[in-house]
């Protein structure tokens, strides 16, 4: 990106250096009370106290001032479904019924490229309004749906990673039909989009129930063929789902073992949910450096169960955080963090605000293998930023009257905040919301 654009963004800067250990680990982050992010050609050229940088800035450079707001790296959503923007808030079903009754019906509409194009614009607008600047997204079974999303993301210069959902059984014929040559279609989409600007591809078998072993093996081979492509799927979300996988793959000792056998585990693999796992399965995830993706609003809404964060973390499993819209109920990573906190509280665990904000930024970037590109306010990274206002609503402003320091402010933001707390979102250095 060499658009020659230069801009200075001034406010309170917060960026994480490593995963925080506990609720007040001040060595895990860098906070500048009055800082400037200097942006050039879409990337961060420098981030430093205003007192240091102001004197070096040419007078012609525009300065965006966000005096009382917090500027963080843009949020990263590691599991979201682009064709489910109108599935969100679908009533009264658990996973398998929810898929059949709502999701598979809705996804068939993506056979129409005009529909896919319209939804892609809405989807990216909504991410932006919520301060999310990178997402790992599922498309529908139609390769055209991935084309639609990548086509819409390109001019916005967003770091979108996506793949069309691969499935060849246990779904409606209309979704299995376009998936017949799903592997060939995925290979073609990789050629067209992977590494084009900021776009990347993820091989996307929906889950073990909707793919034969043959198709999962082909997906694994594709992952091996393209060593920078990611993989996303679902794992151990719901008891009926796990029982069905047991019936479909009777020779495998567990659900996780099915993915392991077909080469689908590894450091580039992000597995949504990971709720109901035994110790052997957790060890498979940890040893393979796979990522377990915590989707709290979805797990509560679909009634799937409670993600056991501490158990997985102690076993050395890499963990990411995500909305899982439309099983999830909010595009906001702030709301997602709030529900993650509650899911953990129900298990007598806790989620410090520092850990939550690290997860939404640096942690999720690392989960995607993109921590050299995004997730931090540091020279060389893309200038993807979110500007947050902890006094965005009367109730938040009222609570902030008694806030005690940065950690408390962050906790107010994640407990009470949503899109209303997002004052601006910068994508590759450009403000993406109306000022
Ligand atoms: Zn999902």
Burial-class residue 228 by CB neighbours within 10 Å (0-12, 13-18, 19+): exposed
Whole-prediction pTM value? 0.97
Q: Poorest-confidence range of 9-23, 178-192, 200-214?
A: 178-192
**327 CA from centroid of ligand 1 (Å):** 7
> What mean pLDDT value characterizes the chain?
96
**328 CA from centroid of ligand 1 (Å):** 8
- Calculate the alpha carbon distances from 300 to 103, 127, 169, 303, 419 in Å: 18, 21, 27, 5, 20
pLDDT tens-place string over residues 262-314: 999 999 999 999 999 999 999 999 999 999 999 999 999 999 999 999 999 99
Task: Determine the pLDDT at residue 4.
Answer: 66
Task: Determine the pLDDT at residue 286.
Answer: 98
**314 CA from centroid of ligand 1 (Å):** 24
Is pLDDT at 1 greater than 90 in this prediction?
no
**103 CA from centroid of ligand 1 (Å):** 11
Angle at 305 between CA 165 and CA 216, to 5 degrees: 25
**81 CA from centroid of ligand 1 (Å):** 6
**162 CA from centroid of ligand 1 (Å):** 13
Written as six digits, the tokens of 240 are 């009926």
Contacts of residues 338-345 at CB distance under 8 Å and 24 or more positions apart, as own/partner, are: 338/414, 338/415, 338/416, 339/296, 339/297, 339/300, 340/294, 340/296, 340/307, 340/309, 341/414, 341/415, 342/296, 342/300, 343/294, 343/296, 343/299, 343/300, 343/306, 343/307, 343/309, 344/309, 344/310
**Exposure on the CB side of residue 67, measured as CA atoms within 13 A:** 0
Instruction: Output b/e per residue, 170-188; b: 16+ Cβ within 10 A.
Output: bbeeebbebbeebbebbbe
pLDDT tens-place string over residues 128-141: 999 999 999 999 99
**41 CA from centroid of ligand 1 (Å):** 34
Q: Tell me the three state secondary structure of residue 182.
A: helix
Average pLDDT over residues 152-158: 97
Confidence of residue 3 (pLDDT cuts 50, 70, 90): low
Is pLDDT at 239 greater than 80 in this prediction?
yes
Task: Determine the pLDDT at residue 178.
Answer: 75
Task: Determine the pLDDT at residue 85.
Answer: 96
Is pLDDT at 119 greater than 60 in this prediction?
yes
**203 CA from centroid of ligand 1 (Å):** 14
Percent of the chain with pLDDT strictly greater than 90:
94
Q: Which strands sit side by side in the sheet containing 385-388, from one edge to the other? A: 43-49, 29-40, 6-16, 63-73, 385-388, 422-427, 430-431
Confidence of residue 58 (pLDDT cuts 50, 70, 90): confident
Task: Determine the pLDDT at residue 66.
Answer: 97
Average pLDDT over residues 51-56: 92
């Amino acid at each position: 990106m060499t658009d020659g654009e230069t801009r200075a963004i001034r406010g309170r800067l917060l960026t994480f250096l490593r995963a925080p250990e506990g609720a007040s680990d001040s060595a895990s982050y860098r906070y500048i009370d009055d800082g400037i992010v200097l942006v050039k050609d879409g990337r961060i050229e420098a981030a430093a106290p205003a007192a240091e940088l102001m004197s070096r800035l040419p007078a012609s450079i525009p300065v965006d001032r966000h005096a009382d707001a917090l500027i963080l790296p843009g949020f990263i959503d590691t599991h979201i479904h682009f064709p489910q923007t109108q599935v969100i808030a679908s009533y009264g079903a658990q996973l398998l019924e929810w898929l059949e009754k709502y999701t598979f019906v809705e996804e068939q509409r993506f056979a129409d490229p005009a529909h896919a194009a319209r939804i892609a614009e809405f989807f990216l607008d909504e991410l932006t309004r919520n301060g999310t600047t990178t997402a790992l997204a599922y498309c529908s079974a139609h390769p055209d749906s991935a084309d639609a999303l990548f086509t819409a993301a390109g001019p916005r210069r967003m770091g979108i990673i996506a793949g069309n959902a691969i499935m060849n059984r246990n779904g409606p014929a209309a979704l299995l039909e376009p998936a017949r040559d799903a592997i060939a279609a995925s290979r073609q989409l990789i050629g067209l989009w992977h590494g084009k600007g900021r776009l990347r591809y993820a091989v996307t078998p929906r889950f073990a129930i909707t793919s034969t072993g043959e198709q999962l093996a082909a997906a694994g081979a594709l992952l091996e063929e393209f060593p920078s492509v990611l993989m996303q799927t679902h794992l151990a979300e719901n008891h009926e789902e796990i029982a069905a996988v047991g019936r479909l793959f009777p020779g495998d000792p567990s659900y996780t073992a099915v993915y392991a056998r077909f080469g689908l585990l590894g450091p580039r693999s992000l597995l949504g949910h990971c709720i109901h796992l035994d110790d052997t399965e957790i060890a498979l995830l940890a040893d393979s450096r796979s990522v377990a993706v915590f989707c709290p609003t979805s797990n509560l809404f679909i009634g799937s169960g409670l993600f056991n964060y501490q158990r997985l973390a102690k076993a050395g499993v890499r963990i990411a955080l995500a909305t899982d819209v439309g099983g999830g109920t909010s595009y906001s990573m702030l709301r997602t963090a709030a529900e993650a906190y509650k899911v953990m509280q129900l298990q007598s665990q806790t989620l410090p605000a520092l850990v939550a904000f690290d997860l939404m930024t640096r942690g999720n970037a690392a989960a995607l293998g993109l921590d050299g590109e995004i997730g931090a306010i540091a020279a060389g990274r893309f200038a993807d930023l979110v500007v947050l206002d902890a006094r965005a609503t009367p109730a938040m402003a009222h609570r902030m009257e008694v806030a005690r320091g940065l950690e408390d402010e962050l906790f107010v933001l994640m407990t009470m905040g949503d899109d209303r707390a997002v004052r601006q979102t910068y994508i590759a250095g450009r403000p993406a919301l109306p000022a």
